[in-house]
Amino acid sequence: MGQSPAVNTHNRHVLCMKWGSKYGPEYVNRLYAMARRHLNGDFRFICLTDNTDGIRSEVECFPIPELDWQRYPNQPDRAWKKLATFSQDLKDKYQLEGTALFLDLDVVVVGSLDDFFTQSGSFRIIHDYARPWKKRRITGNSSVYRFEIGAHTDVLEYFQQHVAQVQQAFRNEQAYLSDFLFKQGQLAYWPEQWCPSFKYHGIPLWPTNYWREPFIPDGARIVIFHGECNPPDAAAGRRNRRWRFIRPASWITQHWHE
């Protein structure tokens, strides 16, 4: 599906986004440090943000491109701001060229990122995690996705023109994004082992979770935290669901640091 992105280390970007108060600057700083440890060669680390306070100097910060929310002030967020990564502003206004690997702030990088830039296909994303009792959907998990800057501006343009309809049809931005690119024949997924879920793949089965620590799944490159806890919670042995015990995940402190 498509051609492999050109392997040019000068045109590689690791991209993240921080808005509001949920995550502090330490999440950006640690994400940069993990990327630097696990990505060979040159790259630019870009943060689209509404607040640059406390972010380390190696991170290039730009304003989050505008989304047209004024006409729909009561619509829920549900990470819709991530669609701003497909804004033409990244290319025209911020002068960014090449391949971008988007990472959520609360992921933990545990292995090489090099191959994320060389896998074939115009767009890659995590295949959202299968539930044993449900048919697997096409939806991707947008914690980790890769694209060519400026190549998918139609994703954002369509959203801007049909905000109410899109939000009625899709629960969140990743469901819309996956459906849109799937219909264009551009949706491809990362190898299954690369981006495991902490809560689905990294916690020992009951009852061994009471004496065994959470672990890094075999083949993992980036561990995804979604739904129940983020890295500091998991490191402390906290979950946000009653009756779901975990021991502290000591491996997190070995990776999630500057």
Q: Cite the beta strand spans of 128-180 per DSSP E.
A: 140-148
Helix (H, G, I), strand (E, B) or coil at 79: coil
How are strands ordered across the β-sheet holding 187-189? 60-62, 44-49, 12-18, 99-103, 140-148, 123-127, 187-189
Q: What is the mean pLDDT of the chain?
A: 91
Top CATH class, 9-189: alpha beta
In this prediction, residue 4 carries a pLDDT of: 45
Given a cut of 90, whether residue 200 has pLDDT beyond it is: yes
Burial of 137-157, coded b for 16+ CB within 10 Å and e otherwise, reads: eebbbbbbbbbbbbebeebbe
In this prediction, residue 74 carries a pLDDT of: 63
Least confident stretch, 80-84, 153-157, 182-186, 225-229:
225-229
- Measured at the CA of 226, the angle between CA 231 and CA 234, to 5 degrees, comes to 25
Helix (H, G, I), strand (E, B) or coil at 111: coil
In this prediction, residue 9 carries a pLDDT of: 61
Half-sphere exposure (Cβ direction) of 66: Cα atoms closer than 13 Å: 4
Report the amino acid identity of residue 95.
Q
Residue bearing the bigger pLDDT, 35 or 245:
35
Burial category of 47 from C-beta neighbours within 10 Å (exposed 0-12, middle 13-18, buried 19 and up) = buried
Residue 14 contacts residue 41 (beta carbons within 8 Å):
no
Residues of the chain with pLDDT > 90: what percent?
80
Given a cut of 90, whether residue 70 has pLDDT beyond it is: no
**Which of 5, 186, 16 shows the shortest CA–CA distance to 84?**
16
In this prediction, residue 77 carries a pLDDT of: 66
In this prediction, residue 8 carries a pLDDT of: 60
Whose tokens are 């509404």? That residue is 50
In this prediction, residue 10 carries a pLDDT of: 67
Domain locations in the chain as residue ranges: 9-189
Burial category of 61 from C-beta neighbours within 10 Å (exposed 0-12, middle 13-18, buried 19 and up) = middle
In this prediction, residue 2 carries a pLDDT of: 42
Whose tokens are 């500091």? That residue is 232
Average pLDDT over residues 201-208: 94
In this prediction, residue 239 carries a pLDDT of: 82
Average pLDDT over residues 40-53: 97
Given a cut of 80, whether residue 44 has pLDDT beyond it is: yes
Average pLDDT over residues 80-96: 96
Tokens of 137: 């959907």
* Stated pTM of the model: 0.93
Given a cut of 70, whether residue 236 has pLDDT beyond it is: yes
Tokens of 30: 């640690």
**Which of 117, 131, 244 shows the shortest CA–CA distance to 190?**
117
Integer angstrom CA distances of residue 14 from 10, 55, 81, 224, 244: 12, 15, 17, 16, 34
Given a cut of 60, whether residue 101 has pLDDT beyond it is: yes
pLDDT classification of 243: cutoffs 50, 70, 90: low
In this prediction, residue 175 carries a pLDDT of: 96
Q: How many residues does the chain have?
A: 258
In this prediction, residue 135 carries a pLDDT of: 75
